[in-house]
Chain A
Amino acid sequence: MSEHDHHDDHGPAKGIKRWLYATNHKDIGTMYLVFSLAMFMIGGFMALIIRTELFSPGLQFINPAFFNQMTTMHALIMVFGAVMPAFVGLANWMIPLMIGAPDMALPRMNNWSFWILPVAFSLLLSTLFMPGGAPASGWTMYPPLVLQTGDAFPFLIFSVHLMGLSSIMGAINVIVTIINMRAPDMLLLRMPMFVWTWLITAYLLIAVMPVLAGAVTMLLTDQFFGTSFFLAAGGGDPVMFQHIFWFFGHPEVYIMILPAFGVVSEIIPTFSRKPLFGHDSMVYAASSIAFLSFIVWAHHMFTVGMPLSGQLFFMFATMLIAVPTGVKVFNWTATMWRGAMTFETPMLFSLAFLFLFTIGGLSGLMLAIVPSDIQYHDSYFVVAHFHYVLVPGAIFGIQAAVYYWLPKWSGHMYNEKLGKLHFWLSAVFVNVTFFPMHFLGLAGMPRRIPDYSTQFANFNSVASIGAIGFGLSQLLFIYIIWLSVRKQGAQATSEVWDNPKGLEWTVPSPAPYHTFERPPEVTTDKAFT
């Protein structure tokens, strides 16, 4: 304990020990964010391999087996390696600063939950070099196909277990921190929306990651220990896997978007110079979305042959999600209404989020309608839909957050001109990439195919050009972050922006290694009610 007592007195340890033994929420947050950026680049590179092959009909560069490995790995890396760790990184950095806590509640577990991730992804990426190649059955891992995976199979299962372990520990840490370590007057309904959406996300994680772990464990025993959970020949049911997987998978969708909702709920008020409209109803809307996410999973499975009553139930429940999602979009619009807006890079990304996430939400509503979903299902229409909610949704949310809080982290402003350039390139190319995919899907192009018939050639070429443009634009993002971290930019004030709300703006920029060692006073000026 004596070692612990002195901990607060000194700054960071020197060299590699600072990172390996990190218990400081800011260091761990930084590691999460850097890790996620690296994974974003690797997953993005795989996406470019996919789009290059799909540039024109015929197979030019890679064989179908490797193509399937790329789609599978791209999804696993982007979902579990890029989007989720980025949000955990933001949570680590910002939640203690936003609720006035000195650190996360469980710093050593925090260290562990981060350091599991590089191990998990090294295992996963190593499968690319194994006999039989990387997993190629899609990130959904449907049996019996996934059981045809080569030597990579146990590595896939084990790495998914590790990712789940990391997420569960991260979620426990978030919940314990928020529940126990708020500054005295930071009442629950006074908490910033980012903290709220993360609290809800953390509960979702704890609820569903064990379900995923169970599903993949059953795959493992089916493969190696003679069970037949999902094998019809042994009395099992392949569709049961899909039910279990999507019971995890649908809340997972909201795990990837709720923290982004929180981010834009911070940014839009700041740059509209107006309080967030309907703070409490935003909390209730996010909670309703989280609740509904548990009872809509089978809308991913309308073609598996469910009873009519089941299809009707899941159709109606899915349509219902449009209501709280609509409330959120309307509230953001009302926040901007009669504000005094300026358009710095974080605001631009938040506005693009608002427009393009709404497009993804509307195509989601179309997908809820069973008879038309039967046409859309497993086509490029679905690919367009979920990329609209994940790229200009989750990823733009993350990038908006990085631009918004980067001056607080590094102490230096990013280059606004380059930031805006990065925004416009990203916003244009993301639409060039994904909008034509709606048309491809409606015209009948299935997803996950390495080669296609000639009538799909035009829009595929357009999408590929967009993808390459989008991918290259992201190099600019790294460069901009690098400049700010290397202190190439104006010194940031503690408030950074024009009178933003929130406790994080009361500490200096860069935020000192230890903050809020004594709980701050939550003045009404800085609180969110």
Chain B
Amino acid sequence: MMRKCCASLLALLATSNAAADWALNMPRGVTELSAETYYLHMQVFYWCVAIGVVVFGAMIYSIFAHRKSKGAEPAQFSHSMTAEVVWTVIPVIILLIMAVPAAETLIKLEDSRQPDLTIVATGYQWKWHYEYQGEDLSFYSTLARDSAAARMLGSGIDPFSVENYLLDVDNPLVVPRGAKIRLLLTSNDVIHSWWMPDFAIKKDAIPGFINEAWFRPDVVGTYRGQCAELCGMDHGFMPIVVEVIQENEWQAWLDNAKENRSQYANAGGAR
């Protein structure tokens, strides 16, 4: 087993597999608010880097310049009101600069009024159920079969051979591009959390409560996320997939989905 692990590690390091990458940063996402969140994240990160450069710079300089082996004589100062005031006031100012845009974005995030489409997402151990409100359409969304087979202990299937391993479902949530989509989140058993990094949304699905979140996707495509709140044994195996389609294809997709409702029956099953 160890040899297999080492071999797979070497393979990883040798080839720049498209699936296995060295991504360092948060995705910018495909909504206005995910981009705002990204910029907020970067802004605070740069502040942290600046603070780090100053503080670590002073420490490192001191470590190299003020060492006994270089014959440094210790100074004996131990107070400075000026210094204390300076390094209390400057951080407060920096914090105020950070707080304003953060509060502005937060206020927008919370404004889920006047949606174009409302979807109720219900968490189950361990799958999601989506209901398009007012459209008489609902279905379960569970881990895709190839992933489900490969993820079993000792399955012998190489995860790298499975496309979108653990991030694929049988029935993705489908939404039209450009529409304001409101999610109503709840749960049937324990607490789950609906996380879609590309929409900058993470909201808990809590039994007995209904939470709100919203997004307006700007780019057509398939987006993948996962349950983010520990919900038991198969917490790692209830992914979320959202397909964003063209506005003009939306009605056709909806009609087709309602007509072929039976295609949803096999997967996930009724509970």
Contacts and interface: CB of A to CB of B under 8 A. Distances in A.
B37 A377 contact: no
A11 interface: no
B236 A451 contact: yes
Contacts of B68: 273, 340-342
Contacts of A342: 67-69
A338 interface: yes
B95 A320 contact: yes
A454 B98 contact: no
A375 B204 contact: no
B159 A303 contact: no
A150 B92 CA distance: 49
A278 B8 contact: no
Contacts of A323: 88, 91-92, 95
B191 A374 contact: no
B219 interface: no
A239 B207 CA distance: 10
Contact of A366 (B48, B55, B78): B48
Contacts of B233: 64-65, 68, 136
A145 B190 contact: yes
Interface residues of B, number: 106
A188 B100 CA distance: 40
Contacts of A148: 190, 232
A461 B9 contact: yes
B183 to A, nearest CB: 11
A60 B236 contact: no
A311 interface: yes
**Best-surrounded residue of A142, A277, A341, A461 (most CB of chain B within 10 A):** A341
A184 interface: no
Interface stretch (A152-160, A411-419, A437-445, A482-490): A437-445
B56 A450 contact: no
A199 to B, nearest CB: 21
Contacts of B1: 60-61
A371 B153 contact: no
B102 interface: yes
Contact of A374 (B27, B99, B200): B200
A122 interface: no
Contacts of A450: 236
A397 B99 CA distance: 32
A451 B151 contact: yes
A454 B9 CA distance: 12
Interface of B: 1, 4-5, 8-9, 12-13, 17, 19-27, 33, 36-37, 40-41, 44-45, 48, 51-52, 55-56, 58-59, 62-63, 66-69, 72-80, 83-84, 87-88, 91-92, 95, 98-99, 102-103, 105-107, 109-110, 150-155, 157-160, 164-167, 189-191, 193, 195, 197, 200-204, 206-209, 211-212, 225-237
Given A238-B208, A303-B228, A329-B55, 13 more contacts: A57-B160, A59-B151, A60-B4, A68-B233, A144-B189, A237-B209, A274-B77, A274-B78, A305-B204, A305-B212, A442-B23, A443-B26, A451-B151
List the 10 closest pairs (A to B, CB-CB), nearest first: A232-B208, A449-B236, A305-B211, A362-B48, A275-B78, A57-B159, A273-B74, A338-B75, A340-B68, A372-B41
